[in-house]
């Protein structure tokens, strides 16, 4: 999704408000105050709060696509692509902790069907891309083939989500990428 400079500013401030104050404080009034514009000016960029939340999800979706593209370009083996898929997300979340808190809080989007459908679409696309890497890695004997690919996906991505959740709940008090690297190394020992 192509955002104007002002729309991107609104999206980033919205992510910050949700992360630091909760979804209940994501109001047009609070967003307008955060970027020092009138509420009427804000409505010129987004017609509603739901449209703004969809832009937040689209922003994350675009970032995720960029990470997948980078993994494709940089990864040589399917296992290296799997590693980049995970490690680049840790780096993204380290650089934007508010984004991590919002994106791993699906409950924020579950009561609005369009937002819920978008979140599910993002998750499914991640799963299909990652499963493609897993299937290639299994076919080329980089990892065990006696474990179903979807279970490998759940082990890797589920443990990543747990680690990120622990990191956010502990107020970012440990080095996420370093712990993520340890977790990745442990999981690869199990699946190789």
**What is the fold, at CATH topology level, of the domain defined by 58-191?**
Tetracycline Repressor; domain 2 (1.10.357)
pLDDT of residue 23: 83
* CA-based nearest residue to 160, from 66, 95, 90: 90
Q: List per-residue pLDDT tens for the chain, 192 residues long.
A: 688 999 999 999 999 998 888 888 889 899 999 999 898 988 999 998 889 999 999 999 898 888 888 877 787 899 999 999 999 999 999 999 999 988 887 777 778 889 889 988 988 988 999 999 999 999 999 999 999 999 999 999 999 999 999 999 999 999 999 999 999 999 999 999
pLDDT at 76: 86
pTM of the model: 0.86
């Amino acid at each position: 999704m192509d955002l104007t400079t002002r729309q991107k500013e609104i999206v980033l401030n919205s992510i910050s408000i949700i992360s630091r104050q909760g979804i209940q404080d994501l109001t047009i009034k609070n967003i307008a105050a955060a970027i020092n514009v009138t509420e009427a000016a804000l409505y010129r960029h987004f017609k509603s709060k739901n449209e703004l939340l969809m832009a937040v999800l689209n922003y994350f979706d675009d970032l995720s696509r960029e990470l997948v593209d980078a993994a494709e370009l940089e990864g040589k083996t399917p296992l290296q692509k799997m590693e980049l898929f995970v490690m680049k997300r840790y780096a993204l979340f380290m650089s934007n902790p508010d984004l991590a808190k919002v994106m791993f809080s699906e409950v924020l989007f579950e009561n609005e069907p369009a937002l819920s459908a978008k979140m599910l679409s993002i998750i499914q696309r991640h799963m299909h891309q990652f499963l493609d890497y897993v299937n290639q890695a299994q076919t080329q004997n980089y990892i065990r083939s006696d474990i179903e690919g979807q279970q490998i996906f759940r082990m890797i991505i589920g443990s990543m989500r747990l680690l990120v959740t622990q990191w956010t709940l502990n107020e970012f008090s440990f080095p996420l990428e370093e712990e993520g690297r340890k977790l990745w190394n442990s999981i690869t020992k199990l699946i190789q």
